[in-house]
């Protein structure tokens, strides 16, 4: 009987396809979030996502848009230099945001919109935007060792999240990819590499499938587990590289959850840093 006063939809992308017969059924499950809402409730939705816009059309809830595109109905609107209000007043300059990246900007707009609907003052929203620097396991910087940056993105349990991670760095990337396959197409990562994907190190249950899909397009190697993957990444990295754990898979083949996987990665990097 879940009935949220505010339902926030960030996007609709393929995920959990190992648990649903098709993308259609997966979307239907997601849309259950607004199924018990009334005309007094809100849907905060990403107006850049055409599938999402279509799926919520029949809802009687009050629909409030956000997005990176131009959406005059949005409460907060971004441009290249700032986020401004519906009244065209500047809320915050882009260079004051604590979280970098276009995907984080979309998340910030969603959260700000929901906060506004709950009566949070704009000055408080601005302060949070400038101070909140993220949470563990989501493009989390762990350490820089000998000029190599180590990033924990263990929460990236689907390939769309990996695509976002890849687009977040201009430096050469050594990608640690693997775990329990969820039915996504690993080749979908290739258009998002911008020629800076230096190597893929596959691990876990999905390692051979990853090799099959990617090794003709990018240098790829498989190992048994995350520790081996990190050791190999350290050995083949050079100053200026990014070693990115962004698995694109579930964690349950070798870990209890993505948090445990990310904690393990962080502890391994800490040991390397002290060596």
Whole-angstrom Cα distance, residue 199 to residue 105?
A: 28
Domain 140-274 listed as CATH 3.90.1150.10: no
- Span 5-28, pLDDT tens digits: 999 999 998 766 678 888 899 899
pTM given for the model: 0.77
Averaged pLDDT for residues 60-77: 97
What does the DSSP 8-state code read for residue 146?
A: T
Q: Residue 251, SS3?
A: coil
Query: What is the DSSP-derived secondary structure letter of residue 101?
Result: S
Q: Can you name the residues that pair with 148 across neighbouring β-strands?
A: 145
Per the listing, tokens 């090799």 go with 211
For residues 98-120, average pLDDT:
94
pLDDT above 70 as % of the chain: 99
- Residue 258 burial (C-beta neighbours within 10 Å; 0-12, 13-18, 19+): buried
Does domain 6-131 fall under CATH 3.40.1190.10? My reply is: yes
| Residue-level pLDDT at 133 | 86
Half-sphere exposure of residue 28: CA atoms within 13 angstroms, side-chain side:
6
Virtual torsion, Cα 59, 60, 65, 69, nearest 10 deg: 50
Residues of the chain with CATH 3.40.1190.10: 6-131
Residue 101 predicted with pLDDT over 90: no
Helical (H) or strand (E) element with 83: strand 82-85
Average pLDDT score over residue span 122-148: 95
pLDDT for position 1: 82
Residue 74 has pLDDT above 80, yes or no: yes
Res 36: pLDDT:
96
- Identify the weakest region by mean pLDDT among 47-51, 102-106, 155-159, 240-244: 102-106
**What is the tens place of the pLDDT at every residue in 208-257?**
999 999 999 999 999 999 999 999 999 999 999 999 999 999 999 999 99
Q: Which residues in the chain are classed under CATH 3.90.190.20?
A: 140-274
């Amino acid at each position: 009987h879940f009935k949220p006063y505010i339902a926030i939809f960030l996007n609709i992308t393929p995920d959990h396809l190992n648990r649903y017969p098709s993308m259609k059924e997966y979307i239907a499950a997601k849309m259950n979030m607004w199924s018990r809402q009334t005309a007094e409730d809100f849907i905060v939705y990403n107006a850049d996502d055409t599938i999402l816009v279509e799926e919520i059309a029949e809802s009687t809830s009050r629909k409030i848009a956000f997005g990176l595109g131009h959406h005059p109905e949005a409460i907060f609107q971004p441009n290249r230099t700032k986020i401004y209000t519906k009244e065209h007043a500047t809320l915050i300059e882009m260079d004051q945001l604590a979280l970098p990246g276009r995907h984080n900007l979309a998340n910030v707009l969603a959260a700000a919109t929901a906060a506004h609907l709950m009566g949070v003052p704009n000055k408080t929203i601005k302060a949070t935007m400038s101070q909140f620097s993220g949470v563990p396991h989501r493009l989390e910087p762990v350490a820089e060792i000998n000029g190599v940056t180590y990033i924990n993105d263990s929460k990236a349990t689907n390939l769309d999240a990996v695509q976002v991670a890849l687009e977040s760095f201009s430096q050469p990337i050594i990608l640690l990819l693997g775990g329990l396959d969820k039915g996504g197409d690993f080749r979908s990562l290739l258009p998002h590499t911008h020629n800076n994907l230096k190597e893929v190190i596959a691990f876990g249950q999905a390692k051979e499938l990853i090799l099959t899909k990617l090794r003709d397009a990018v240098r790829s190697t498989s190992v048994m587990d995350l520790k081996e993957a990190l050791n190999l990444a350290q050995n083949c990295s050079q100053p200026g590289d990014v070693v990115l754990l962004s698995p694109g898979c579930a964690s349950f083949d070798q870990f209890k959850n993505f948090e445990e996987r990310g904690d393990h990665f962080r502890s391994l990097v800490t040991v390397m840093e002290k060596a």
